[in-house]
Chains A and B, each alone.
Chain A
Amino acid sequence: CVCVTVSHSQITRLYSRFHSLDKGENGALSREDFQRIPELAINPLGDRIINAFFPEGEDQVNFRGFMRTLAHFRPVEDNEKNKVLTPGEPLNSRTNKLLFAFRLYDLDRDDKISRDELLQVLRMMVGVNISDEQLGSIADRTIQEADTNGDMCISFNEFTKVLEKVDVEQKMSIRFLH
């Protein structure tokens, strides 16, 4: 089956990629390994995304963990037979994709995006041309728009809700990770 071969070759490819990133050659990637990727330095959310690769409190990620994170971005397919490492709910489900994004905002892991957290991310994503006030008003409005229970935070549920019309499956998928 084409799927399997694709998937297999992808794993092989990613594995070699993993190794090429692994300058320490200890079978695990550290943050610095990621930070060495040039494009990430100019990615506004680069470091946040790097952090997403590391389980809480750990400084290393092995190939398995590496793939686990990447698996979030597999496209959702009808034929899920070529699952690589997805016990339970597949990592590439809509919920998990959203959760991945949500965690980028949610620094303190309290399952809520506070205004500050949102502001931080916004500041990362906008240029210096937007003043803090403007950004603040944007953040306020964003929260206001999403917040349904009035706690001035965006919970994951609210996050999901507010993005329910967005084609997350498509926009959070990468084709090469079949």
Chain B
Amino acid sequence: MRCLSFLLFIKVASDAATDLYVIGASLSPEPGVSAAPAVTSPVASRYTPAREEYGHPGIALARSAEEPSAPSTEDGESSHHHGGGYKIVQWEWSYVQTPYIIASWLLVASVAKILFHFSQRFTTAVPESCMLILLGLVLGGVVLIASKKQPYQLDPGLFFLFLLPTIVGDAGYFMPARLFFDNLGAILMYAVVGTLWNAFCTGFCLYGVKMAGAIDEKVDAGLMEFLLFGALISAVDPVAVIAVFEEVHVNETLFIIVFGESLVNDAVTVVLYKVYISFVEVGPGNVYTADYFKGIVSFLIVSIGGTLVGLIFAVILAFVTRFTKKVRIIEPLFIFLLVYLAYLTAELFSLSAILSMTFCGIGCKKYVEANISQKSRTTVKYTMKTLASIAETIIFIFLGISAVDKSKWAWDTGLVVSTLIFILVFRAIGVVGQTWFLNWFRLVPLDKIDQVVMSYGGLRGAVAFALVVLLDKKHVKAKDYFVATTIVVVFFTVMFQGLTIKPLVKWLKVPRSTNRKPTINEEIHERAFDHILTAVEDIAGLNGYHHWRDKWEQFDKNYLSKLLLRKSVYHKSELWEAYQKINIRDAISVIDQGGNVLTSARLSLPSMASRTSFPEVTNVTNYLRENGSGVCLDLQVIDTVPGAKIEEELETHHVLAGNLYKPRRRYQSHYSRHFMTVDEKERQDREVFQRNMRNRLESFKSTRYKRHKKDRSQKKRKGSDAKEQDANEKPRRNVSWQDKDPVVVPMAHGEDIHDPSEPDKDDDVGITFVARKAPETPKERPKSVPAALDVCQSPVAAPPSLTCGEKTLPWKNGVGSLPPCVSVEATKIIPIDLQQAWNQSISSLESLASPPEPLHPRISALSRLGGPLRTPAKGKSGAGAGSGSNTGSPSSGPFKFPAGKEEEEEGTLSQQQQEMQPLMSSLRPPPPPPPPPAAQSAGKRRNPCVYLRSLVTVPSSGGEPQSRKPTQL
């Protein structure tokens, strides 16, 4: 079966190649005719001259020495023969030649892939890249035999301008950002230090070998040439790494390190290459010390500049996608164009184009994905994957074809063997040395097995080949030898190592990436782990990596997201709905895909799954993974879906998973930030905050009588203050109805005001709170505007004993009135979703039966005690609030109706107050001191928040009441 399909595949492939060739051959030289006769169709004549120019870049794909003249000739000739008459059928080969050849090659490559995937057993054993190279060899051989010349070759221009960007763009855009940055240290280390080490050692040692005479005399190269060669041969190649590793399925960390290294080392390679080229051209004798420093500076510029260019384009791209709402259809185009432009721009300034593109992809993804429509997202995904896949295929095929052309290279066994040995040995030594160093700092040390895989996974590929082809034979006389060596090295690493790395990984029992879906238990518990770790870090006050990531988050949230995200995305809470939809869609698509994989696997062979092409697998899974569980690498996910699984099972699992994902995702977004949307985050914060506060309240009640009450309450206040601020506006909103909350005022103002007042007020807060309310209520009612504010408070104040309940009481008292109050608030303050949550929390609170009275004395006492302690906390919280105020102010505004800052901010509040007034007034009628039972119940409902609020607000409230009293009274 295997052989058969392979034969078939070769046959088809070679057929195609022969066709191509025959076409070329049949067109062969008739130079004289090429001057198109007058008869030539206008189109043809117009394009004949143009074709050569145009053909060069494009045709590079199918570049041939003789062809340029040949096809045009044919064209001209045919037209010539037919004379002046109108031709019914015209042979317009020259007109379509370039695109035709390109399309033919793509077709051949694609068909080859299909055929290749026919045999499952075969494909699991042999990496696709190997097969493609072999195919290329065969094709090249056929063409060579037929034409005696090798017209096609992997052209560096084509490679660097078209093929490589598609692959890198895909890699960058779909790079698991979190994983990448988590391992950034290691990646940079390996990419910079490792590559330098490899380059220098290989270069010097080759030179040493040459000196020792093991390399033939004909290899005319000095130290500089060898260093140059070492530089280009020592860089791990992204294309090869992707191609091979995607099939090996090592664990994510291992993958991202090797893969990240292969991308990032581009800067090093580019610089070394250019520096040495210039050295070689100038001649080693003319190189001065300053030039080495220039080299270093150049490295910095190339790498940092490349990164910056990428990031700039990322910002532009994200910004542009903000405004594509009306033209959804071109959203994907923007992405491709700008990412590609990032690459080209970097090339333009001879910066590291790969770096630029990678960081453009990484940087823009979050915003772009949030901005563009779901369809665009899918389009981008599939298009990128398709392009990358085909580019990869072409690269490998052409590597194979290029190798056939003997005229381009010259063999020297000594050079080849020593190069192979050196790159392997130095790679291993470099990896071990660097890992030893890195392990001092890594949370998860890389063990020996990882090191083996990393050493062995140092694949060289098309980049090296393209670079070596680019060498100028005038300066580098040993170019042919280098080309041959490079081809051997590339073939060896891609084919031999690619072939053996899988068994090696198995044999070493390298932890593989998990293909299985995580069980529900794992999902839940791992999520819990995340929460735990986060909490512990917060408790321990760690601010290393996570701290800075958090800072970045803040910055991102406050500025970048605001700038780069659509307003609808940034502000609307509808996001949640959107996410649900996406979720469902994803689940469906995954099911579909899973189903397909399953069926195909069943039909052909069970192992099929592993062969699922890179792009497909990546797409859906990538998305799901990202959203769902931050860690997963796309590449392999679907991979080994066991054939045994039934679709139904899968489906149920997905449905379940989908459901579970929601909360998590939301949560996740908060902490992992690949994907977050602010609204969700805030909302989650709010919810969690509510819940936590409620719990604390409960526990507080239950432990009321313990001695620590006072301290605790104080602490709670502080904590809640800080929390609120941190949680951003949301918590505030919920709580905001509390009259006195300092937060009520726009945050910036709130800070200033509160902070100074705090120390004095703290002591009395609790007391003032209670005392004030009772007197205030009656008086305030009559007052119109100010009264409104007071009203809110007054009811609260009325029952001194019921701190929490009091505030809520007024609303509660009028049973009918309560709902309106809530609704008004809710509409203003709380998004509909929130109302739900709010109601939930309220109802749950109701269940807590606790006598309101005991609270009050305690609270006051606590508040008194709290005063001194609180001051420091306040300062912090105030600052936090201030920072948060930017984002929060608009939303918090409406909530502020509570009386707290009337005097200062009546202007802002007046609106709210007015709105509130009617409601309040209607409620008002009940006597200022509401009946204790009603008050209690009401208080209980809203208790948690109110209560906490009061605690929180206490400091400010102390100040407020004083000021108020005079005014009101």
Q: Which of A24-46 touch B at CB < 8 Å? A: 24, 30-46
Whether a CB of chain B sits under 8 angstroms from the CB of A101 is yes
Q: Which of B502-539 touch A at CB < 8 Å? A: 511, 514, 519-522, 524-539
| Closest beta carbon of chain B to A98's beta carbon, Å | 9
B725 — nearest CB in chain A belongs to which residue?
A38
Interface centre among A34, A38, A42, A175 (most CB of B within 10 A): A42
Q: Is the CB of B538 within 8 A of A165?
A: no
A134-178 interface mask toward B, CB cutoff 8 Å, 1 = contact, 0 = none? 100110011001100000000000010011011111111111110
| Closest beta carbon of chain B to A104's beta carbon, Å | 7
Q: Is the CB of A145 within 8 A of B689?
A: no
Given contacts A171-B526, A176-B544, contact A47 B837 (CB under 8 A): no
Whether a CB of chain A sits under 8 angstroms from the CB of B666 is yes
> In the bound complex, what is the Cα–Cα distance between A2 and B716 (angstroms)?
40
B532 — nearest CB in chain A belongs to which residue?
A49
Q: Is the CB of A128 within 8 A of B836?
A: yes
Q: Is the CB of B522 within 8 A of A165?
A: yes
> In the bound complex, what is the Cα–Cα distance between A74 and B689 (angstroms)?
28
Q: Is the CB of A44 within 8 A of B533?
A: no
Given contacts A23-B873, A35-B716, contact A174 B526 (CB under 8 A): no
Whether a CB of chain B sits under 8 angstroms from the CB of A125 is yes
Q: Is the CB of A37 within 8 A of B525?
A: no
Given contacts A32-B719, A49-B532, A73-B533, contact A126 B520 (CB under 8 A): no
Whether a CB of chain B sits under 8 angstroms from the CB of A88 is no
Q: Is the CB of A49 within 8 A of B531?
A: yes
Q: Is the CB of A141 within 8 A of B440?
A: no
Whether a CB of chain A sits under 8 angstroms from the CB of B663 is yes
B440-451 interface mask toward A, CB cutoff 8 Å, 1 = contact, 0 = none? 111111000000
Q: Is the CB of A101 within 8 A of B836?
A: no
Q: CB-CB < 8 A to A2: which residues of B?
A: 440
Q: Is the CB of B540 within 8 A of A177?
A: yes
B523 — nearest CB in chain A belongs to which residue?
A142
| Closest beta carbon of chain A to B295's beta carbon, Å | 32
| Closest beta carbon of chain A to B866's beta carbon, Å | 10
Q: Is the CB of B532 within 8 A of A125?
A: no
Q: CB-CB < 8 A to B688: which residues of A?
A: 41-44, 46, 124
Majority secondary structure of chain A interface residues (helix, strand, loop or mixed): helix
Q: CB-CB < 8 A to A14: which residues of B?
A: 540-541
Q: CB-CB < 8 A to B720: which residues of A?
A: 41
Q: Which of B539-553 touch A at CB < 8 Å? A: 539-542, 544-545
Given contacts A142-B524, A166-B525, contact A46 B540 (CB under 8 A): no
> In the bound complex, what is the Cα–Cα distance between A56 and B393 (angstroms)?
63
Q: Is the CB of A36 within 8 A of B522?
A: no
Q: Is the CB of A127 within 8 A of B663?
A: yes
A86-98 interface mask toward B, CB cutoff 8 Å, 1 = contact, 0 = none? 0000000000000
Contact of B873 among A36, A39, A45 (CB under 8 A): A36
Q: Is the CB of B531 within 8 A of A43?
A: yes
Q: Is the CB of B662 within 8 A of A127?
A: yes
Q: CB-CB < 8 A to A34: which residues of B?
A: 539
Interface centre among B532, B541, B660 (most CB of A within 10 A): B532
| Closest beta carbon of chain A to B958's beta carbon, Å | 19
Interface centre among B511, B541, B706 (most CB of A within 10 A): B541
Q: Is the CB of B662 within 8 A of A129?
A: yes
Majority secondary structure of chain B interface residues (helix, strand, loop or mixed): helix
Whether a CB of chain A sits under 8 angstroms from the CB of B708 is yes
> In the bound complex, what is the Cα–Cα distance between A55 and B53 (angstroms)?
80
Q: Is the CB of A104 within 8 A of B711?
A: no
Q: Is the CB of B692 within 8 A of A41?
A: yes
Given contacts A32-B715, A126-B662, contact A38 B880 (CB under 8 A): yes
Q: Which of B341-349, B376-384, B679-687 contacts A (4 or more CB under 8 A)?
A: B679-687
Q: CB-CB < 8 A to A21: which residues of B?
A: 539, 541
Q: Is the CB of B663 within 8 A of A101?
A: no
> In the bound complex, what is the Cα–Cα distance between A134 and B661 (angstroms)?
12
Given contacts A20-B541, A163-B521, contact A125 B531 (CB under 8 A): yes
Q: CB-CB < 8 A to B731: which residues of A?
A: 41-42
| Closest beta carbon of chain A to B771's beta carbon, Å | 25
Q: Is the CB of A39 within 8 A of B712?
A: no
Q: Which of A47-77 touch B at CB < 8 Å? A: 47, 49-50, 53, 59, 70, 73, 75, 77
Q: Is the CB of A42 within 8 A of B689?
A: yes
Q: Is the CB of B693 within 8 A of A41?
A: yes
Q: Is the CB of B536 within 8 A of A41?
A: no
Whether a CB of chain A sits under 8 angstroms from the CB of B469 is no
Q: Is the CB of A173 within 8 A of B443?
A: yes
| Closest beta carbon of chain B to A52's beta carbon, Å | 8
B873 — nearest CB in chain A belongs to which residue?
A36
> In the bound complex, what is the Cα–Cα distance between A162 and B525 (angstroms)?
10
Q: Which of A95-147 touch B at CB < 8 Å? A: 100-101, 104-105, 121-122, 124-130, 134, 137-138, 141-142, 145-146
Whether a CB of chain B sits under 8 angstroms from the CB of A17 is yes
Q: Is the CB of B836 within 8 A of A75?
A: no
> In the bound complex, what is the Cα–Cα distance between A166 and B519 (angstroms)?
10
| Closest beta carbon of chain A to B859's beta carbon, Å | 14
| Closest beta carbon of chain B to A37's beta carbon, Å | 5
Q: Is the CB of B662 within 8 A of A41?
A: no
Whether a CB of chain A sits under 8 angstroms from the CB of B26 is no
| Closest beta carbon of chain B to A125's beta carbon, Å | 6
Q: Is the CB of B659 within 8 A of A138?
A: yes
Q: Is the CB of A138 within 8 A of B726?
A: no
Q: Is the CB of A104 within 8 A of B528?
A: yes
Contact of B660 among A45, A100, A126, A177 (CB under 8 A): A126
Whether a CB of chain A sits under 8 angstroms from the CB of B788 is no
| Closest beta carbon of chain A to B432's beta carbon, Å | 16
Q: Which of B684-714 touch A at CB < 8 Å? A: 684-685, 687-689, 691-693, 695-696, 699, 706, 708, 711-712, 714
Given contacts A128-B687, A170-B444, contact A30 B536 (CB under 8 A): no
Q: Is the CB of B524 within 8 A of A125?
A: yes
> In the bound complex, what is the Cα–Cα distance between A24 and B511 (angstroms)?
48
Q: CB-CB < 8 A to A130: which residues of B?
A: 659, 662-663
Given contacts A24-B711, A32-B719, A73-B533, contact A45 B696 (CB under 8 A): no
Q: Is the CB of A35 within 8 A of B696?
A: yes
A126 — nearest CB in chain B belongs to which residue?
B663
| Closest beta carbon of chain A to B456's beta carbon, Å | 23
Q: Is the CB of A145 within 8 A of B519?
A: yes
> In the bound complex, what is the Cα–Cα distance between A104 and B524 (angstroms)?
13
Q: Is the CB of A44 within 8 A of B667?
A: yes
Q: Is the CB of A142 within 8 A of B521?
A: yes
Q: Which of B644-688 touch A at CB < 8 Å? A: 656, 659-660, 662-664, 666-667, 670, 683-685, 687-688
Q: Is the CB of B662 within 8 A of A44?
A: no
Q: CB-CB < 8 A to A167: which residues of B?
A: 511
Given contacts A30-B711, A30-B712, A129-B663, contact A176 B531 (CB under 8 A): no
Given contacts A24-B711, A70-B540, A130-B659, contact A38 B531 (CB under 8 A): no
Q: CB-CB < 8 A to B514: which residues of A?
A: 165
Given contacts A100-B532, A138-B656, contact A127 B666 (CB under 8 A): yes
Whether a CB of chain A sits under 8 angstroms from the CB of B904 is no
Task: Taking A42-B731, A43-B534 as given, write out 16 further A-B residue pairs in contact, using a Cβ cutoff of 8 Å, ordered by the A residue number.
Answer: A34-B539, A36-B722, A38-B880, A40-B535, A41-B688, A42-B723, A47-B699, A49-B536, A125-B524, A125-B667, A138-B520, A163-B521, A163-B525, A166-B522, A174-B540, A175-B545
Q: Interface on B for A, CB 8 Å cutoff?
A: 440-445, 511, 514, 519-522, 524-542, 544-545, 576, 580, 656, 659-660, 662-664, 666-667, 670, 683-685, 687-689, 691-693, 695-696, 699, 706, 708, 711-712, 714-716, 718-720, 722-727, 731, 833, 836-837, 840, 869, 872-873, 877, 880
Q: Interface on A for B, CB 8 Å cutoff?
A: 2, 13-14, 17, 20-21, 23-24, 30-47, 49-50, 53, 59, 70, 73, 75, 77-78, 100-101, 104-105, 121-122, 124-130, 134, 137-138, 141-142, 145-146, 159, 162-163, 165-177
10 A-B pairs with C-beta separation under 8 A: A20-B541, A21-B539, A33-B715, A35-B715, A37-B539, A38-B725, A159-B525, A163-B525, A171-B530, A174-B536
